[in-house]
């Protein structure tokens, strides 16, 4: 009976979103609030499913289909962890959107796509069937396509297409991998395949899909380009939800379900190390604030992948907690970048500087989120970075551990550079376009935007101080 | 434990909240720091104990312990906190960000107590890395227009702290535990060598040793003197030395004279000589003291590098003496700066006449820091030099070069400040000088009473006793000779240059050395610049590759698809013969497949 809560958690945003354009035609405020409520329903359902996880009676439901096929939803610890993370951050992003998006066209579609996207994410995390997972995966790609192309300019459309093509291509290749598994096991049901060893070629195909979705080198190029989207979208896609789908799928398939070759415990961390170091290097030279954060995302996702693929419990739990830490903090960073961009109408860091005086709260929230990404205690990022690197060292791979420490140093360097260039130092505005008088008029974003980033900043800190709580849930995932 | 971390935190927030009420600020700061000292004394004199808080994430444990060594460091830091805190409260009365500065300062006190009380390496790391953010924030205060120092400090300390993280993780991997008291001393070989290197780099980085030193002189340009008194003057030295002491006495089995031992001594000696050499070129007292702090940290590092009981005891004793002296000197410098409005040596001349008590304090503190015979620093320095001599005569010679340069420095500064003519007029103020008097008294106490050295040896479980008299007569004679040469050189340099201020010019302008100073002033010898340049070059390389990757996605693949489409459309021209060719080729392929099977 409780399984229906999961169905509500998925279908409410998926179907409810269809009402948003209609409501939006008559009442904008009501549409906005409804969008928030729809996402909040997902969050509440995920929170309710926590009782199942801690009560040892998981919420699940199964639907029979013709020809002996079936599909279902199940809220185990991993699903609930991901659902809570994604829906919490999405709620904040919807709130922030009230202030950010209100003067643009296509708002109805925007809210609809964001909410559908959250529904698709819920579908992915609760699905117990490979085909259902694939279907929700593709729904998310569709939403992503529309959201990146939100401004309808030529460049945004081109980049939206790029994102769509790369992620869909990855998903199709992954689908071939799914069929390969079906050919071996005769089922798409994940529960029925627990502990089944799958051939390396299927793992490689699925991995291709995962890496394309989580933007890992060399399949990463779409992610920085997608920075042309509005900031709440980049926050949702780059930080909180979309890119986490890939790493979630890795955890679901290769940690909790299938038995894969030990060689992947070396291959995947090596890919992750290359991706992390490479993108950290690019981030250090970029001058577009959102592109720096995008490359940072790719680099940090590699830490998650490293933790999940190292084969040690401490690393896997660290990798899962890293998802939470990164989602919260990176969403905050993107939203802060949105406030800055909104005020200055530029994303070029060379034309910024000294904004801490005008935007003290945004600067503070940015600092909190930045410290978490850097891995400074007591922020959650500290624990997760420590656990992930401990995992790979425990696995005996000291060299990779050292490389990731190097990457952590580079993370500090490029984030400090960004922070100082944007919020401190002398003003770097070209005088003819942005005079000192104009700068003096620059103010914080709207109340709702500032509150949103402050929530994420404080959450980054609070999650670190009370890291015991999410850690309990994350450690239950491994069993 | 909760009290030692919680009290400074709570006090910090109270001080920030009552930032406009000077009386409450003074009472709160005095009460909290004195209480902190009393608790530290209680812990030092009480029985050792261990405790843990089970509120950490999976794989972590907040574990705490009190041993003789931790107790001693706690007492030292608590004593210095009183002086620094009093000075800061007095000195930030009218400052715009005084409350915020006090808040950060007290958070850093809490973090220092946390590190010293940590029972396992992961807990040390937790408090240790927290300090990076506080340092970054405190250096930003009043420097929002010029944030380079804070960025540099964060980058440098992060590099050393993350190296430490790697070292800690390797140590835990080897020892199968993070609990310090459960670790059986790890041989410094194989993976243990790498772990030791990383941990020591973390410790030396915190102390401000080469190549992690460069933010300290930069801070002298931009940060208030209170920051220098608190961080390079006390916090950094205490933490770095504590970790180094724990590493060589509890975690690793460092063999004296081994490759690692020599490496750490070399780093120490380079830092000692380099810091002193750079101090020679300074015309401002604040910057001179900043380089002196760097230099003295090198001497402490060299002591730890020896790995012997005498060397390590000497290093801890030197740390004790140096932090007291440096903290006092920085505070005195701040007071003089406030009165005279500058720290230029030429403008601060003749304080013996203007403020004789301050002058006496300066003499005591600087001579003790220098290791002048029969003062506290002398005993410490002799223990270290004796231990260095046991490892290598060459290293001792380099260390003595450092002693020579340091002596030149402090004699020069002392002569200008105490006996110089002219300078700015200012009045004497005993209230402001209280912390300096106390610290000078402590420095004298270390000279006449070897009790702390006995305590250090007990804390380190040292078998031999070195209290009271230097261990090596040879090094003592060499040191005395070097000090004498320095005095002679000072007289010679003063005569040659015509003033004490420029008495070191003949050294600075010597061939080769002149070029080195030139490069140093341009930042060519700054390891931070090397790091940034290296990362910048690497970033440029990655960016070029990224352009290539983007070209593949944006032009290459679409071009390939378009080209293939065009080729196919040209191929499919509607003629029947083409289709028949295709059918024939297809059939042949099917047949090959069929027969191959």
pLDDT in tens, A83-122: 999 999 999 999 999 998 888 888 899 999 999 999 999 9
pLDDT of amino acid A106:
85
| Helix residue ranges per DSSP H, B92-146 | 98-117, 121-140
Nearest to A405 among B165, B172, B554 (CB): B165
Nearest CA in chain B to A467: B57
A279 near B CB under 8 A: yes
Q: A1: distance to nearest CA of chain B, Å?
A: 33
CA dist., res. B246 & res. B181, Å (int) = 10
The number of CA neighbours under 13 Å toward the Cβ of A229 is 33
Nearest to B541 among A281, A375, A475 (CB): A281
Residues in chain A with CB shorter than 8 Å from the CB of B148 are: 420
> Which of A278, A283, A412 to mutate against chain B (most B CBs within 10 Å)?
A412
The band of B457, judged by pLDDT with boundaries at 50, 70 and 90, is confident
Answer yes or no: are the C-beta atoms of A71 and A59 closer than 8 Å: no
Residues in chain B with CB shorter than 8 Å from the CB of A166 are: 553
Contact check, Cβ <8 Å, B56/A426? no
Q: What residues are paired with B65 via a beta bridge?
A: B50
The pLDDT tens digits for B81-121 are 999 999 888 888 777 788 889 999 999 999 999 999 999 99
pLDDT of amino acid B335:
87
Question: b or e along A412-437 (b: 16 or more beta carbons within 10 Å of the residue's beta carbon)?
Answer: bbbbbbbbbbbbbbeeebeeeebeee
Nearest to A393 among B158, B173, B545 (CB): B173
Q: Encoding tokens for residue A276?
A: 């992390």
- Exposed (0-12), middle (13-18) or buried (19+): which is A135, by Cβ within 10 Å? middle
Answer yes or no: are the C-beta atoms of A164 and A206 closer than 8 Å: no
Supply the ipTM of this predicted assembly. Answer: 0.90
Calculate the dihedral angle through the C-alpha atoms of A153, A155, A156, A159, rounding to the nearest 10 degrees. Answer: 160
The string of DSSP letters for B399-455 reads HHHHHHHHHHHHHHHHIIIII----------HHHHHHHHHHHHHHHHHHH--HHHHH
Short-list A303, A225, A242, CA closest to A89: A242
State whether residue A189 is helix, strand or coil: strand
Short-list A310, A464, A309, A312, CA closest to A383: A464
Answer yes or no: are the C-beta atoms of B31 and B18 closer than 8 Å: no
The string of DSSP letters for B21-89 reads -HHHHHHHHHHHHHHHHHHHHHHHHS--EEEEE--S-TT--EEEEE-HHHHHHHHHHHHHHHHHHHHHH
Nearest to B147 among A279, A374, A420 (CB): A420
The band of B469, judged by pLDDT with boundaries at 50, 70 and 90, is low
H or E element: which one contains A475?
A: helix A468-478
pLDDT of amino acid A457:
95
H or E element: which one contains A91?
A: helix A77-100
Question: b or e along B420-448 (b: 16 or more beta carbons within 10 Å of the residue's beta carbon)?
Answer: beebbebeeeeebbbbbbbbbebbeebbe
Strands B186-187 and B252-253: parallel
B144 near A CB under 8 A: yes
Nearest to A376 among B122, B133, B159 (CB): B133
Contact check, Cβ <8 Å, A281/B56? no
Chain B, window 124-143: residues with a beta carbon less than 8 angstroms from a chain A beta carbon = 125-127, 129-130, 132-133, 136-137, 140
Number of H helices, E strands in chain A: 21, 2
Share of chain A above pLDDT 90, in %: 65
Chain A, window 396-435: residues with a beta carbon less than 8 angstroms from a chain B beta carbon = 398, 401-402, 405, 408-410, 412-413, 416-417, 420, 424-426
State whether residue B523 is helix, strand or coil: coil
Residues in chain B with CB shorter than 8 Å from the CB of A369 are: none
The pLDDT tens digits for B12-31 are 999 999 888 888 989 999 99
DSSP-derived letter for residue B182 is G
Residues in chain B with CB shorter than 8 Å from the CB of A470 are: 57
The pLDDT tens digits for B269-317 are 999 999 999 888 888 888 999 999 999 999 999 999 998 888 998 899 8
Short-list A164, A90, A89, A171, CA closest to A130: A171
The band of B439, judged by pLDDT with boundaries at 50, 70 and 90, is very high
Chain A, window 377-396: residues with a beta carbon less than 8 angstroms from a chain B beta carbon = 377-378, 382-383, 385-387, 389-390, 393-394
CA dist., res. B475 & res. B299, Å (int) = 14
Contact check, Cβ <8 Å, A417/B151? yes
Q: B479: distance to nearest CA of chain A, Å?
A: 41
| Per-residue H/E/C for A269-324 | HHHHHHHHHHHHHHHHHCCEHHHHHHHHHHHHHHHHHHHHHCCCHHHHHHHHHHHH
A15 near B CB under 8 A: no
The whole-chain average pLDDT of chain B stands at 87
Strands B186-187 and B62-66: unpaired
Q: What are phi and psi of A219, to 5 degrees?
A: -100, 25
Match 């410290």 to its residue by tokens: A371
Contact check, Cβ <8 Å, A393/B55? no
H or E element: which one contains A72?
A: strand A70-75
Contact check, Cβ <8 Å, B169/A389? yes
The band of A429, judged by pLDDT with boundaries at 50, 70 and 90, is low
CA dist., res. B27 & res. B24, Å (int) = 5
The band of A432, judged by pLDDT with boundaries at 50, 70 and 90, is low
H or E element: which one contains A74?
A: strand A70-75
Phi-psi category of B167—alpha, beta or left, where left has phi over 0 and alpha has psi -120 to 50?
alpha
H or E element: which one contains A51?
A: helix A28-54
Contact check, Cβ <8 Å, B57/A467? yes
B535 near A CB under 8 A: yes
Match 């992915």 to its residue by tokens: A124
Residues in chain B with CB shorter than 8 Å from the CB of A279 are: 542
Residues in chain A with CB shorter than 8 Å from the CB of B527 are: none
The band of A388, judged by pLDDT with boundaries at 50, 70 and 90, is very high
Contact check, Cβ <8 Å, A281/B132? no
In the predicted model, is pLDDT for residue A479 greater than 70? Answer: no
First to last CA, chain B: 76
pLDDT of amino acid A276:
94
H or E element: which one contains B377?
A: helix B376-391
Short-list B57, B48, B64, B59, CA closest to B179: B64
Contact check, Cβ <8 Å, A356/B125? no
The more confidently predicted of residues A469 and B354 is A469
Nearest CA in chain A to B192: A398
The angle, 0 to 180 degrees and rounded to 10, between the axes of the packed helices A28-54 and A77-100 is 160
The number of CA neighbours under 13 Å toward the Cβ of B10 is 12
The number of CA neighbours under 13 Å toward the Cβ of A39 is 29
Match 């995008």 to its residue by tokens: A294
The pLDDT tens digits for B192-231 are 999 999 999 999 998 888 888 888 888 888 888 888 888 8
DSSP-derived letter for residue B553 is I
CA dist., res. B171 & res. B161, Å (int) = 15
B145 near A CB under 8 A: yes
Nearest CA in chain B to A427: B145
The string of DSSP letters for B222-279 reads HS-HHHHHHIIIIIHHHHHHHHHHHIIIIIEEPPTTSHHHHHHHHHHHHHHHHHHHHH
> So where are chain A's domains?
263-289+296-479
Q: A474: distance to nearest CA of chain B, Å?
A: 9
> Which of A324, A414, A415, A468 to mutate against chain B (most B CBs within 10 Å)?
A468
Q: What is the pTM of this model?
A: 0.91
The whole-chain average pLDDT of chain A stands at 90
Q: What residues are paired with B120 via a beta bridge?
A: B179
Cis check: omega of the bond before A378, within 30 degrees of 0: yes
Answer yes or no: are the C-beta atoms of B68 and B48 closer than 8 Å: yes
B173 near A CB under 8 A: yes
């Amino acid at each position: 009976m409780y399984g229906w809560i999961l169905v509500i958690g998925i279908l409410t945003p998926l179907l409810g979103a269809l009402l948003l354009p209609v409501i939006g035609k008559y009442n904008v405020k009501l549409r906005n609030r409804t969008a928030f409520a729809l996402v909040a329903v997902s969050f509440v359902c995920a929170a309710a499913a926590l009782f199942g996880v801690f009560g040892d009676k998981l919420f699940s439901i199964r639907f029979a289909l013709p020809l002996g096929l079936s599909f279902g939803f199940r809220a185990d610890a991993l699903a609930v962890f991901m659902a809570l993370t994604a829906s919490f951050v999405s709620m904040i992003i919807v709130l922030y959107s009230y202030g950010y998006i209100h003067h643009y066209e296509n708002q109805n579609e925007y809210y609809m796509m964001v909410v559908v996207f959250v529904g698709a994410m819920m579908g992915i995390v609760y699905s117990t069937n490979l085909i259902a997972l694939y279907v929700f995966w593709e729904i998310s790609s569709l939403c992503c396509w529309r959201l990146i192309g939100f401004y309808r300019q030529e460049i945004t459309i081109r980049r939206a297409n790029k994102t769509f093509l790369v992620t869909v291509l990855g998903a199709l290749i992954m689908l071939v991998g799914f069929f390969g598994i079906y050919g071996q096991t005769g089922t798409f049901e994940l529960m029925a395949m627990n502990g089944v060893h799958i051939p390396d070629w299927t793992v490689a195909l699925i991995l291709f899909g995962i890496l394309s979705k989580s933007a890992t080198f060399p399949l990463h190029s779409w992610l920085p380009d997608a920075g042309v989207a509005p900031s709440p979208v980049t926050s949702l896609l780059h930080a909180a939800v979309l890119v986490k789908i890939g790493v979630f799928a890795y955890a679901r398939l290769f940690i909790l379900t299938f038995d894969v070759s030990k060689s992947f415990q070396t291959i995947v961390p090596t890919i992750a190390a290359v991706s992390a170091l490479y993108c950290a290097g690019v981030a250090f030279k970029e001058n577009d604030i959102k592109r720096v954060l995008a490359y940072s995302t790719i680099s940090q996702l590699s830490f998650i992948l490293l933790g999940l693929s190292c084969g040690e419990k401490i690393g896997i739990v660290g990798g899962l907690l890293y998802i939470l830490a990164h989602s919260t903090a990176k969403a905050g960073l993107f939203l802060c970048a949105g406030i800055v961009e909104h005020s200055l109408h530029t994303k070029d860091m060379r034309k910024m500087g000294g904004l801490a005086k005008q935007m003290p709260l945004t600067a503070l929230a940015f600092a909190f989120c930045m410290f978490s990404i850097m891995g400074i205690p007591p922020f959650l990022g500290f624990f997760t970075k420590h656990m992930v690197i401990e995992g790979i060292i425990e696995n005996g791979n000291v060299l990779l551990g050292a490389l990731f420490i190097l990457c952590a140093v580079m993370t500090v360097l490029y984030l400090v550079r960004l922070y100082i260039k944007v919020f401190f130092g002398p003003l770097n505005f070209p005088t003819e376009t942005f005079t000192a008088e104009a700068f003096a008029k620059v103010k914080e974003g709207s109340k709702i935007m500032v509150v949103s980033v402050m929530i994420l900043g404080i959450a980054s800190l609070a999650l670190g101080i009370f890291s015991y709580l999410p850690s309990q849930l994350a450690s239950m995932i491994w069993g | 434990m909760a009290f030692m971390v919680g009290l400074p935190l709570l006090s910090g927030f109270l001080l920030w909240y009552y930032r406009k009420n000077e009386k409450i600020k003074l009472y709160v700061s005095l009460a909290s720091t004195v209480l902190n000292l009393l608790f530290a004394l209680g812990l030092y004199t009480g029985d050792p104990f261990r405790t843990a808080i089970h509120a950490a994430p999976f794989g972590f444990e907040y574990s705490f312990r009190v041993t003789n060594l931790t107790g001693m460091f706690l007492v030292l830091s608590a004593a210095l906190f009183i002086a620094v805190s009093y000075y800061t409260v007095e000195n930030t009365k009218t400052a715009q960000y005084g409350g915020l500065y006090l808040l950060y300062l007290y958070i850093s006190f809490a973090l220092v107590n946390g590190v010293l009380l940590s029972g396992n390496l992961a807990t040390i790391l937790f408090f240790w890395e927290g300090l990076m953010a506080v340092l970054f924030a405190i250096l930003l205060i009043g420097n929002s227009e010029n944030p380079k120092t804070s960025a540099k400090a964060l980058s440098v300390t992060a590099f050393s702290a993350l190296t430490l993280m790697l070292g800690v993780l390797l140590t835990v991997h080897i020892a199968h535990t993070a609990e310090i008291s459960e670790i059986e001393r790890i041989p410094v070989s194989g993976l243990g060598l790498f772990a030791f290197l990383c941990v020591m780099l973390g410790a030396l980085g915190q102390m401000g040793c080469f190549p992690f030193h460069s933010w300290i002189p930069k801070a002298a340009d931009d940060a208030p003197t209170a920051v220098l008194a608190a961080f390079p003057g006390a916090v950094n030295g205490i933490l770095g030395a504590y970790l180094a002491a724990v590493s060589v006495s509890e975690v690793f089995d460092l063999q004296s004279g081994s490759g690692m031992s020599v490496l750490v001594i070399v780093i120490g000696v380079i830092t000692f000589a380099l810091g002193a050499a750079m101090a020679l070129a300074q015309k401002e007292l604040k910057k001179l003291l900043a380089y002196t702090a760097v230099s003295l940290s090198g001497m402490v590092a060299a002591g730890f590098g020896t790995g012997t009981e005498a060397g390590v005891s000497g290093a801890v004793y030197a740390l004790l003496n140096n932090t007291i002296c440096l903290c006092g000197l920085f505070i005195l410098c701040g007071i003089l700066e406030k009165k005279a409005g500058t720290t230029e040596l030429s403008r601060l001349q003749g304080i013996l006449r203007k403020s004789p008590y301050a002058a006496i304090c300066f003499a005591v503190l600087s001579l003790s820091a220098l290791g002048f015979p029969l003062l506290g620093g002398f005993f410490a320095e002799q223990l270290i030099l004796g231990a260095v001599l046991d490892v290598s005569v060459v290293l001792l010679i380099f260390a003595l070069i450092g002693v020579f340069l340091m002596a030149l420095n402090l004699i020069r500064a002392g002569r200008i400040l105490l006996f110089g003519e002219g300078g700015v007029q200012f009045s004497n103020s005993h209230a402001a000088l209280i912390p300096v008097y106390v610290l000078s008294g402590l420095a004298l106490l270390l000279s006449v009473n070897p009790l702390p050295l006995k305590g250090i040896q007990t804390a380190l479980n040292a078998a031999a006793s070195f209290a009271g008299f230097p261990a090596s007569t040879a090094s003592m004679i060499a040191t005395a000779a070097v000090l004498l040469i320095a005095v002679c050189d000072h007289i010679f340099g003063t005569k040659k240059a015509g003033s004490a201020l420029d008495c070191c010019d003949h050294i600075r302008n010597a061939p080769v050395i002149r070029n080195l100073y030139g490069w140093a002033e341009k930042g060519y010898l700054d390891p931070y610049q090397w790091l940034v340049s290296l990362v910048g070059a690497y970033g440029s390389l990655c960016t070029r590759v990224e352009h290539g990757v983007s070209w593949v996605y944006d032009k290459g693949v679409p071009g390939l698809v378009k080209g293939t489409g065009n080729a196919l459309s040209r191929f499919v021209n509607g003629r029947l013969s083409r289709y028949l060719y295709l059918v024939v080729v297809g059939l042949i392929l099917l047949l090959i497949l069929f027969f191959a099977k």
